[in-house]
Structure 1
C-alpha cells in the first residue's frame, strides 16, 4: 500500500532519518518500533506531509503509484482528509476543550465525507454503542472525559470513516495498562472487521506482539530490521533488535 524508500530527513544540517526503507502492506497492521528520538514521529510527519518548513527531505513515499513527497500542500490536505486518519499520543490534545464532543466528532468524521448531521447522528450512535460509550458523551466537553474515553472517541471516528490507512502514533502512552489493552483490542477489531490498514508507532514490544502482523525496527534514524512479527521475534538479526527483545524479560 505504502512503500517508503531511501527516506532521508535533515533539519538544520542534522540528519533525523537516513535512507529509511519499509513497507506498509494493505490490510495489515505494521508496527514501527524504536526508542524515543529514533525518528519514528518524523517519519510519520513525512508520510502525512507535515514536516517542518525547514526540513530537507529526499527519497520516496509511494502511495497509489505516486511519490507523495512531491505532492502539493493542497493535495496532501485532500489525502489526509479522504484516505488517512491519525490518532496521536494524547487524545486530549486533539480536541478543543471549549467545544462539545458531538460537534468535534462530526467535524472529524461525518463532515469530512459530506454526511448530514442527521446521518452522522444515526451512524455515530451505533458506533459509540459498539465501543461501549454512551450517546451522552456528545453533550460533554473533552475535559469531562478520561483519556481512555477520548481515545475511544478517536477510534469511533476511525470506525466511521473506514480510512484507507490509520496511523496510530504512540496511542497508548497516556493510558494505564488496562486501558492500553482495551485500546489495542479496538485497533485489532478495526483491522479485522473493516480491513483497515494500520501503521502503529510504539516503543512497546508487548503491544507489537499482540497487535501487529509486520514490524520495522528503527534506531538512530535508520531502519535496522524488518519482517513479520513472528520471524523477527523468533530470529532477530540486528544487535539492537536483540537488545530490545531481551529487555522484555
Structure 2
C-alpha cells in the first residue's frame, strides 16, 4: 500500500476472553507493520485504565501505541495525572477527544471541548506528545452547522494538534471537500482517513446512526438484499471499501486509520487487496 501512515484502532477488552482474542488479532495485524495502534475508551473515559493496560501491552510487544484521552467529565487535575502517567511509561502519542458523557452524568467537566484539551496538553507537556484529533467529513452529529463544525475542527488543530483522524465514511467526495475547506481555514496538518470495514449490515447501520456516518443508498440496499448471507456481505463490503481506499490514496489522502473492531480478518483482507493494486 502506497502509504507509511497506516494505523489500526482497538477498543479495550472487558473480559479475559476478550483480552485473549485481542492478543491473537493484534499479533496477526502486527505483521502488517502499521505505524501505530490506537486504543479507545468508554463514555466519560470510563475504561481509561483498560485503555492504558492495553496500550502498555502493545508497547511491551515492541509496537507504538496511542491511548485515546477524553476531557468530558474530567478535571484539569485528573487529566494532568493521566498525562503524567502516560509520560512515565514513555508514551509519545495520544488521540485527544472531547468524548461523550455517560448517561445520567451531570457536568461536562472543566475542559468542555477537544480544543481545550489540546491546549491543556500543550501547556502541561509542551511537545512531548504527538497529538491526533478527530475530524468529521460528513459533519459531527451534534454540530449546529457544517460551518460551525469546520471552525471547531480548525480550533483543535490551531490549539496544537499534529494530525487528525476522520470518522469513517463511504463517500470519498465528502472527505476531499472537507480537506479543501479545512485548508482554506489554515489547517495544514495531515488529515488521515478513517476506514471501517463492512462485515455486518445490522451492526454497521447501528454504528452509523450513532455517529452520523452516511451509508450510500446503493450500498445500503445491496447489503440489505443479502439478508443473513454473511459471506456475500463481507465480499461486497471488501469490494466497496477497497475501492474507497484506492480512491482516497490516489487523491492524496496521507494515510488510512482502520477501525478493526478487535478483529484481524477484515483489516488484513483490505490490506492485502490494497497491496496488490
The TM-score normalised by the length of structure 1 is 0.40
Structure with a larger share of its residues in strand: 1
TM-score calculated relative to the size of structure 2: 0.36
